[in-house]
Amino acid sequence: MTRLFDHPRRLFGLIAVVCAAMLAFGILYLQNVVGLDPCPMCIVQRYCLIAVGVFCALAAFAKGPGGWRSWGLLAVVFGGFGAFTAARQSWLQWNPPGFATCGRDLYGMIESFPLQRAIPMIFKGSGDCSAVDWTFLGGTIANWSFVWFVIFIVVILATLMRQWGRRTAAA
């Protein structure tokens, strides 16, 4: 494991591949085979996962440490936003709203309302955001999404801190 942290570009590449695999599982299997349609919060998490994967891929291809540090920090920001969204959806699943309406989808909200009004509506959740349609080892999709976002954040921050420690020790 220490060897992996010694090569941050490889680690960022690994995270990018894991993100791509998770997206493939969600889109190709859960959506197209099982037939689950993503709710607005799931779509936000999907976009955050895409952003984490893209930024980690850019970090993996960056030539200097400044490049992969910058891309890594952007991945942490989007990972944090994805973790927040997944945590909020998990909370809604544990404490469903008293009404079970399916509301508008994400694109309908954005088309019908200004962005400053649509964003709070997404996080308020609706009946479809609190539905538990699929579980694995007792965890819902939102639970597992939260766990993976936290893993990505911790690994990226540990890599950045380890490399930062090496730089200050060398100075």
CATH 1.20.1550.10 fits 2-170, yes or no: yes
pLDDT, one tens digit per residue, over 107-147 is 566 666 666 666 666 655 444 666 667 556 766 778 888 99
**150 pLDDT band (50/70/90 cuts)?**
very high
User: What average pLDDT is seen over the chain?
Assistant: 76
How many CA atoms does the CB half-sphere of 11 hold within 13 Å?
25
pLDDT band at residue 36 under the 50/70/90 scheme: confident
pTM of the model: 0.73
Is 82 within 8 Å of 49 (Cβ atoms)? Answer: yes
Return the percent helix, strand and coil in the chain, to nearest 5. 75, 0, 20
Strand-pairing partners, residue 139, are 136
137: left (phi over 0), alpha (psi -120 to 50) or beta: left
Q: How far is CA 45 from the centre of its chain?
A: 5
* Range with lowest mean pLDDT among 26-35, 61-70, 89-98: 89-98
Q: What is the pLDDT of residues 81-110, one digit of tens each?
A: 999 988 888 877 777 666 554 455 555 666
- What are the structural domain ranges in the chain? 2-170
Percent of the chain with pLDDT over 90: 20
Top-confidence range, 2-11, 49-58, 136-145, 152-161: 49-58
